[in-house]
Amino acid sequence: SQKIEQNSEALNIQEGKTATLTCNYTNYSPAYLQWYRQDPGRGPVFLLLIRENEKEKRKERLKVTFDTTLKQSLFHITASQPADSATYLCALEFPGRRALTFGSGTRLQVQP
Amino acid sequence: SAVISQKPSRDICQRGTSLTIQCQVDSQVTMMFWYRQQPGQSLTLIATANQGSEATYESGFVIDKFPISRPNLTFSTLTVSNMSPEDSSIYLCSVEALSTGELFFGEGSRLTVL
């Protein structure tokens, strides 16, 4: 079956460090992968989309990599700030489904 | 971008009753998606709602329990019928930006069933 796996344990890091979150998927080669941020009590907010032919994508302090051989995406936040504390979700569009499937998300806590 | 408004933002309901959630988008969109997010969980797709046709439901979700209306290109409703405490969840409406593939979400409707 098709699965998306994210580390369910919260990631705690110190302010200023780089946070790295992992998204693994199985049994499929998606055309693209997306990352979202979700704050408590809010709907998810789109951050980045990376396509299968892109190894890396950056947006300000955010960087996403996409390794289709490992079936893995890494999401990095450099110079992390307490305001980056949130749950980060990765999402894919599996074949035959016209909507995104989301991973379980990883909660990031940046300590001042 | 799209701005999505959901109503109600939260509600407390009695077992056995039904609640209709409204989703209004500030632009015309072809498809709207309804997701459920149970406490501490990720998002699960309930159904895809196209204007002018029946909604397409995901495995585990049926029309009798979650009837959906899509009367025009900017509006949709999701009804949670004959509610039980297991239906306590956040229900989220979303639309896709066709040019980028990203999803825009409403703020969600937090439903508590007693």
Bridge partners (DSSP) of residue B31 are B50
Q: What is the mean pLDDT of residues A57-71?
A: 94
Give the per-residue pLDDT at A102. 93
Give the per-residue pLDDT at A93. 83
Give the per-residue pLDDT at B27. 92
User: A4-18, A44-58, A92-106, B11-25: which has the minimum mean pLDDT?
Assistant: A92-106
Q: What is the DSSP letter of B55?
A: P
For chain B, which residues score pLDDT lower than 70?
Answer: none
Give the per-residue pLDDT at B93. 97
B86: phi then psi, degrees, rounded to nearest 5 = -65, -15
At A19, is the pLDDT very low, low, confident or very high (cuts 50, 70, 90)?
A: very high
**Opening angle at CA A29, ends A25 and A32, nearest 5:** 90
Percent of chain A past pLDDT 70, that is, above it, reads 96
Q: A90 to chain B nearest CA, in Å?
A: 10
Q: List B residues 42-61 in contact with A (Cβ-Cβ < 8 A).
A: 42-43, 45, 48, 56
Indicate yes or no: CB of A41 within 8 angstroms of CB of B108: yes
Give the per-residue pLDDT at A1. 67
Indicate yes or no: CB of A43 within 8 angstroms of CB of B100: no
Nearest residue on chain B to A4, judged by CA atoms? B42
**B1 interfacial to chain A (CB closer than 8 Å):** no
Between B69 and A2, name the one with better pLDDT: B69
**A93 neighbourhood in chain B, CB within 8 Å:** 101
Q: B13 to chain A nearest CA, in Å?
A: 19
Q: Exposure of B24 by Cβ count < 10 A (0-12 exposed, 13-18 middle, 19+ buried)? A: middle
Indicate yes or no: CB of B42 within 8 angstroms of CB of A102: yes
From the CB of residue B6, how many other CB atoms can be counted at a distance below 10 Å? 20
Q: Is residue A112 a contact partner of residue A82, using CB atoms and an 8 Å limit?
A: yes
At A94, is the pLDDT very low, low, confident or very high (cuts 50, 70, 90)?
A: confident
CA nearest to A66, candidates A84, A77, A54: A54
Q: Which of A41, A99, A105 sits opposite B48 (nearest CB)?
A: A99
